Homo-oligomer: A and B are copies of this chain.
Amino acid sequence: MKLFEDKISSAASRVRIALALKGLGVERETIGILGADAINRTPEYLHVNPQGLVPALLTDEGVLLTQSLAIIEYLDERYREPPLLPEKLEDRAFARAVALAIAADIHPLLPPRVTARLGTIPGAGPQEIADWSRHWIRVGLTAVEELLARRQTGRYAAGDAPSMADICLFPQAVNAERAGLALDQWPRIAAVVAGLRAIPAFAENGPAPRT
């Protein structure tokens, strides 16, 4: 397998964490997601992935998979151990809901291509863009904290083993801290993330800072 990624992408970070949890080694290629048109689409990469986004995973059979959560579900269905979703249906739904509360309600409002577009609106300077990002992280992590308060049953977000929920939470929490938001305003998230930092698959595969 070959992973196309960017070190700063939290979506790519999710797939790196999932691969590490499964103990799967893969070839890696870094694709820059900053630069012209907010995505540095080389012709070579566009040939592989017309969308130009990361992450993308090329399987051993030569099938290109895109979208971090679709890739993680694929890895979980193909390589069963350790499972990245709990066993009970309601618990699986909860883990996926936490994952999506981040991957669909927070992260899509923050990537370079979105903030770059925001910056084309007259009146949207660096301060407004930073406020925009912090607003959605704050609203979104508050929602995640409420989800955890309602149903968290173990030491991680969705049970006593790391799941897809933690895989999405960890990179977002790292980026929240970089955006100047202290995690202790969300005590359950802070406790889960502290636990995840002790797991090498997470600690070694977070998103790199934008330089």
Chain A positions within 8 Å of B, measured between CB atoms, are 50-51, 53, 59, 61, 63-67, 69-71, 73-74, 77-78, 89-90, 92-94, 96-97, 99-101, 103-105, 107-109, 114, 117-118, 121-124, 128, 132, 135, 143, 146-147, 149-150
A65 CB contacts on chain B under 8 angstroms: 90, 93-94, 97
The oligomer's copy count stands at 2
Structural contact, B109 and A97, CB atoms closer than 8 A: no
Query: Contacts A104-B108, A109-B108; is A89 near B69 (CB within 8 Å)?
Result: no
A114 CB contacts on chain B under 8 angstroms: 109
Q: How far is the CB of A10 from chain B (nearest CB, A)?
A: 12
Return 25 A-B CB contacts under 8 Å, by A number.
Answer: A50-B143, A50-B146, A50-B147, A50-B149, A51-B147, A53-B105, A65-B94, A66-B97, A66-B101, A67-B96, A69-B96, A70-B94, A73-B92, A74-B89, A74-B90, A74-B93, A74-B96, A100-B104, A109-B114, A117-B132, A117-B135, A118-B118, A122-B123, A123-B123, A123-B124
Q: How far is the CB of A83 from chain B (nearest CB, A)?
A: 14
A69 CB contacts on chain B under 8 angstroms: 96, 100, 104
Q: How far is the CB of A130 from chain B (nearest CB, A)?
A: 12
